[in-house]
Amino acid sequence: MVTREFATSMQRSHSILLKDNPELKPLFEWLKNLGINTFEDMKFPKLTETMHKIKFDNELKVDIDADVPMLVFHNVSPLQGDFSNGIPKYLKALYEAMYSPEAIL
């Protein structure tokens, strides 16, 4: 998976763009079809709970940019955030939701 990284003195972010990762097209289409432009749009209680746990455990949050299809991961605490573990966990949770919706309701 290709990520683009950006950092300032206090914040780091990694972006996963669809154009760099065409294998993620089904995931981006699923989010678009559900009208999920931000994670506040999610209506799946178990998935929301899982996302909050990943955020807390890895000090990492994720945002969706629907205009330019990408997922943007940011550290929550200044100069912290476990990107190497958090990003795969977020993607796994999203794919589980996409392929097993009954498990996330």
DSSP 81: -
- For the chain, 105 residues long, the average pLDDT of each consecutive 10-residue run is 89 95 95 83 86 93 89 88 94 92 68
Indicate the pTM of the whole model: 0.89
Question: Cα 67 to chain center, whole Å?
Answer: 15
Q: Do 48 and 55 contact (CB within 8 A), yes or no?
A: no
Q: Which amino acid is at 60?
A: L
Domain boundaries of the chain, sorted by first residue: 4-100
pLDDT at 103: 65
